[in-house]
Structure 1
């Protein structure tokens, strides 16, 4: 293997664009988490609550419409306890943190490819950490949101609380699937690193 081999200009530019894009997305995720914190820890606090059995009367008699109902309601509160606010922010912050970790992993991968050192010792660990972050955020973030909304509904008058779900945990399998896929990539890099060491030992 020629360690001095350099990627072509086109390859270097493409990898540079990918690395730059990853950093930009990470910055955007950080800004989004900060914006969410300012909104959640300010006042009033807008909270999206899941609604059930709330018909949309405006479309009740519309031609071709079998049924229509609201599924979400945005309710703003003058005050919420600190624990609920932290849970709501955790729902936004965990995916943002996972995005930052994944983007930094992609940046490191792009930089390693540019330097022709894709199978460096740290690569499998970096990708594995990103995979765990994706799975963890995908499972825990909606749970934090569900708990926070349950606490919010408890603060509503009993006459109005019945239209909202007391506890609704909605799991999005997409981040978990991407995390598993990234874990497989990390495993492939681990195998590639081992094969590279064995090949170098034969030279």
Structure 2
């Protein structure tokens, strides 16, 4: 006769391993574009997204929907011959983005492994969440800042060949910084949980 508790434990380990595998696959999928972009830029061909306010071509239609006015807000371009400084900034931005993703995914995988080992409040997890939170916060700023400066330089260098359609600027999404602050706050929760677990050991 099969022991239900043994089946339950085996199913639990299988579920956690499934999450670990999913985390590794997602981490690889999220990191690969940044790594590939950094390699391409270092090789001399940069595929980047630049801000633009160029008009969208439009024609008046006899019936149905028509465009009153429209502009592009960005253009994805493949640029060659960029200056070394612009390429270095773009590579640095992509590299920090990849590093941030790797550190964050590593912390998530470690959390699932500790769950499988039935040690969710472990000091290693505190360090991992602190590293991941700092990576999201600082790495996000460095990635956006360095990559943004590189895009600004690229736009300035490409404008003469593109009729001046590119805006010398870059967009910045602060969401990842907020997530980084949330992960750092989560590390405090794990600290209290670890302390509570240590204080209650042997009481039950």
- TM-score, length-normalised on structure 1? 0.83
* Equivalent residue, structure 2, for 1:77: 79
Number of positions where the alignment pairs a residue of Structure 1 with one of Structure 2:
196
Q: Deviations over 1:68-88 (max 9, x none)?
A: 111223343331222211211
Residues 12, 114 of structure 1: 8 Å contact kept: yes
Residues 197, 163 of structure 1: alpha-carbon distance in 2 compared, 3 angstrom cutoff: same
Q: Which runs of 5+ in 2 are unaligned?
A: none
* Equivalent residue, structure 1, for 2:148: 146
* Equivalent residue, structure 1, for 2:120: 118
Q: Which runs of 5+ in 1 are unaligned?
A: none
Residues 102, 130 of structure 1: 8 Å contact kept: yes
Q: Distance in 1 between matches of 2:28 and 2:83?
A: 29
* Aligned counterpart for 2:130 among listed residues 128, 131, 140: 128
Cα distance, 1:196 vs. partner?
A: 1.3
* Equivalent residue, structure 2, for 1:98: 100
Q: Distance in 1 between matches of 2:95 and 2:175?
A: 17
* Equivalent residue, structure 2, for 1:166: 168
* Equivalent residue, structure 2, for 1:61: 60
Query: What value does the CA root-mean-square deviation take over the aligned residues?
Result: 2.6
- TM-score, length-normalised on structure 2? 0.82
Residues 82, 157 of structure 2: 8 Å contact kept: no
Secondary structure class of the residue paired with 1:122:
helix
Secondary structure class of the residue paired with 1:45:
strand
